[in-house]
Structures are given as structure tokens and as C-alpha cells.
Structure 1
Amino acid sequence: MMQIYLLSIVYLLVGSGFLLSDTYGGQFALLLTLRYAFRTSKAFRRALILGGFALTLALGFFPMEPGPALLGDLVPMANILVLTLWYLFRALRHSDEKENLEEQSVLEATGLYFEKNKRNFGFVTCIVALLHFFVPVSVLL
């Protein structure tokens, strides 16, 4: 399934662009445009979240050819899942900004952790995407 492979790389690169938009948004206007589209378009947020869950399932059941038949692309799959959870956290936080809850759910705790380490997670996501593109046989390691 070459389409899943290419979609996962694009999803990871777009996700790293979102995460690095605060740091490098002044140098690359496309990053600010993506972030603005995410903040203003509800359909775009839903497409990213649903696409992330679909890609996570697809990478779990249909990995690249040289890898194992099940969970062959474990690292990109885990990264896409965490990135999708971050998107979900941001979407829920955007819609419920005025509510203050005393207890934090697992999603909120995960989202707050990645908000603090957004730049590092962006670099890790970019590295995973580049390694997944340049060295797809590394799933065997």
C-alpha cells in the first residue's frame, strides 16, 4: 500500500510544521497559514483528526512490504497517533477555552505535556518522517 506510506509521510511533515510554527513561523509563511487554517476551519480540524486515526489503523494493518505483516511501521504509527491526540486536544481546547475543569483527563494531560515540549516533538516528528521516507527498510530493526 504505497498510498498509505506516502500519506503517512505527508501527515507527519504537516504535523511537524504545525508543531514548529511558533518557532519558525516568521521565516516560513506556510507554517503560519497552516496554523491559521487549523484554528479557523472546523472541517480542516476534523479532517486532520479523522485522517490521523485512519492512518494509524492503516499503518498497523498494512505496513510497508519488507516489514512484518502486523505492526511493521510501529514508530511512524505511534508518532501519528500521538500527533492525532495532540490535534484532538487542540481542537477540544479551542472549543472549550472558557470552561475550567478541576480534573484533567488523560487527553488533556498528554496535550499539556506536548504543548510544553512542542518544539522538540516537532523535530522528532520531522526526523521520523524523513527516516521513514529515506530508509523504509528500517522497520525491520
Structure 2
Amino acid sequence: MSTDSTSLGTQVFTITRADLVAYAGASGDHNPIHQDESVARSVGLPGVIAHGMYTMALAARAVEAWFPGAEVVSFGCKFTNPVVVPADGGVDVEVAGVAKPGEDGLTTVALTVTSGGQKVLGMPKAVVRV
């Protein structure tokens, strides 16, 4: 089996405030920093921010698109910078990846997740069985 790394095409996801409302309803995370501008600013944030788990889910969606039907063995990251979502329009989150095949049909995918040119997830990595 080849152990060469393969760059995966960058995927772009746009997050809107409506997405945050829908995610809050689905997840049960109704923290007002994800919906209320004044609350977000009152705690020192630059504005309403996306849920970290929602941003992580978008990265997982990219992995699924690159490896449809693969079993996700592990997926992890650190939340390093907020994704600020404007009241009007949306904000893009870009997910890029590099896949490196390993043993036992496992492939490690090192991810880069950015918004506005800034990394928003630290050390994001997935391991899939293809």
C-alpha cells in the first residue's frame, strides 16, 4: 500500500445566523453568545460566534464527502478561535485536508479549518477506515 500523502480539495461551508438557531435547536445548546450580539459582546467576544461543535461538524462533513461511506474511527480537535457570524449574510469556513494511508485500511486525515484566513480549529484530525 502506498504511504504517500494526498491533498484533498478544499470545501467551503457558509454559516449564517439562521444556521446557529437551527443548530441550537438540534443540539440543545442555547447559550446566548451564539444568537445575541449584545450578550456576546458583553462577555468580550467580537460578536455572535458559531458553536464550536457546529464548526467541528462541518469539518466532519468534509471528511465524509472525501470518503463517502467510510467508517470514522476517530475525530478530534481543539477549539482555538471563534467563528464570528455577522447579522447579515454569512461567514465562510474552509476545510482542507491531507490524507495519509496507513495500515489495516486506516487513513489519517490532517485537517486545516479556517475562517477569514485564521485557523479556527487546532490540530483537527480524523482517522477513517476505507
TM-score (norm 2): 0.26
Higher helix share: 1
Structure-1-length-normalised TM-score = 0.24
Compare the two structures and name the one with the higher strand fraction.
Answer: 2
